[in-house]
Amino acid sequence: MSKPNFAPLKLFITGPTYIRDDVKEAALLPEFGHRDAENELRFGPIREHLHTLAGAGDKYESVLFLGSGSTAMEGSIRSLVAEDETLLNVSVGAFGDQYYNIAIANGKKTENLKFDYGQAIDLDVLERKLVDLKPDVVSFTHNETSTGVTNDMKAVCALIRRHGAMPLVDGVSIFGGADLDLANSGAAMYVTATQKSLALPAGFGIGFVSREAEEKAGKVTNKGFSSDIIRQLERARKNQTLTTPNCTLANQMYVQLDRIVNEEGIQNRFDRHIEMRTMVEKWVAGLDGFEMFAPKGFRSPTMSTVVCPEGVTLTQLKVGVKEALRAKGYLMDPGYVKLNLAMEKAGRRQVFRIGHMGDIMPDMLSEYLVQLENELKKI
Ligand SMILES: Cc1ncc(COP(=O)(O)O)c(C=O)c1O
């Protein structure tokens, strides 16, 4: 078996993403005991900064699950969908199905309302389903990573609430790259992860739990152990994790969140993501035969999806363009395979992705777009 090629690559995929050198170096900070006073000095500021980044006000508590985004999603399902209740999942792409799959794997009574790839949630269609099904809980994706579509979180949550259900939101690929205003979002629980717009290694699923969710979880039975948000909250309130955390990641997270909040500034960070989305839109407008995939008004600030001209194949993207860019030091994203296979089957054009999340800077993106354009012109 050949060995990994450890040559440095700049990741323009949609997570995990590029990590700054100072954040990599923070992995060398001393390990610590997770029930020792040193733990508080890391996780206290980490939780405070997460709160600020989310705009969580006084309605939410953050919990760090050991695992990834899916671990936090599972926690929300196990803790907030009671045995006799119905969950409606709303999916606008491949990642939108994740909540559905988790709910089914946990034996929950669940339906999946699916929208076509590239579309945002249609509120009229959702409303009809809410009237028909009368679900107790509704889950949906804030930012669909396979299509680059950002749903209007507040509008979707408001509609769900008008029908008496509790909204759970998967914000894995947007948190840290956009202003959520979580306090006014209407989400009962919002989940995310470290390896996307926070530009950290993977390792923690992050859950923002509202008081209302906590109250409900108190009445739900069979919540599991790590997936029990009540058990998690008890530790989180002491700025601790339920079980032994990855201390290396905690050190990196401490350094990274301090830098984001106190050096870069969160508004600057959010503005930088919008600037990069605009850069991609302008670049695409200048490319013959290419178009943005996500509809205007629903385009993600953390990643973009681009439709190729007729005749471009997945192999050309995956082998030709991606491997040529790897040789130049970039990891290109040729698109979500399941989506591209479905697009091909439906006679639709192929779509590739550009991750511009986390600590990707406009000058890095502009350099990458030049290289990407050179390779696209060869196919
Ligand atoms: C929107 C979305 N939800 C959920 C997940 C799953 O997250 P994780 O891999 O952190 O468990 C991903 C991963 O890419 C995602 O993009």
Domain ranges in the chain? 10-16+266-376, 21-262
Closest CA to 110 of 129, 128, 137: 137
Query: Which ligand 1 atom is the nearest neighbour of the CA of 193?
Result: 10
**What spacing in Å lies between the alpha carbon of 195 and ligand 1's midpoint?**
9
Q: How far is the CA of 324 from the centre of ligand 1 (A)?
A: 27
* Residue 286 CA to ligand 1 centre (angstroms): 32
The set of protein residues with a Cβ atom below 6 angstroms from ligand 1 is 15, 68-70, 95, 98, 141, 145, 170, 172-173, 193
Ligand 1 pocket, mutate which of 11, 64, 151, 172 (most atoms under 8 A from CB): 172
pLDDT at 357: 98
Q: Cβ distance 154 to 51 under 8 Å?
A: no
**Pocket mutation for ligand 1, best pick of 71, 145, 168 (most atoms within 8 Å of C-beta):** 145
Contact of 14 with 173, CB cutoff 8 Å: yes
Q: Which CATH number fits domain 10-16+266-376: 3.30.565.10, 3.40.830.10, 3.90.1150.10, 1.10.3470.10?
A: 3.90.1150.10
* Separation of CA 37 and ligand 1 centre (Å): 32
pLDDT of residue 1: 86
Does the structural domain 21-262 have CATH classification 3.40.640.10? yes
6 burial level (CB within 10 Å; 0-12, 13-18, 19+): exposed
> Are the beta carbons of 302 and 285 closer than 8 angstroms?
no
The predicted pLDDT at position 5 comes to 87
pTM: 0.98
Contacts of 1 (CB under 8 A, 6+ apart): none
96 Cα–ligand 1 center, Å = 9
The number of residues making up the chain comes to 379
For 222: left if phi > 0, alpha if psi spans -120 to 50, otherwise beta; the answer is left
Find out whether 351 and 307 touch, Cβ atoms under 8 Å.
Answer: yes
Angle between helices 153-162 and 123-133 (to 10 degrees): 30
pLDDT tens for the chain, 379 residues long, are 899 989 899 999 999 999 999 999 999 999 999 999 999 999 999 999 999 999 999 999 999 999 999 999 999 999 999 999 999 999 999 999 999 999 999 999 999 999 999 999 999 999 999 999 999 999 999 999 999 999 999 999 999 999 999 999 999 999 999 999 999 999 999 999 999 999 999 999 999 999 999 999 999 999 999 999 999 999 999 999 999 999 999 999 999 999 999 999 999 999 999 999 999 999 999 999 999 999 999 999 999 999 999 999 999 999 999 999 999 999 999 999 999 999 999 999 999 999 999 999 999 999 999 999 999 999 9
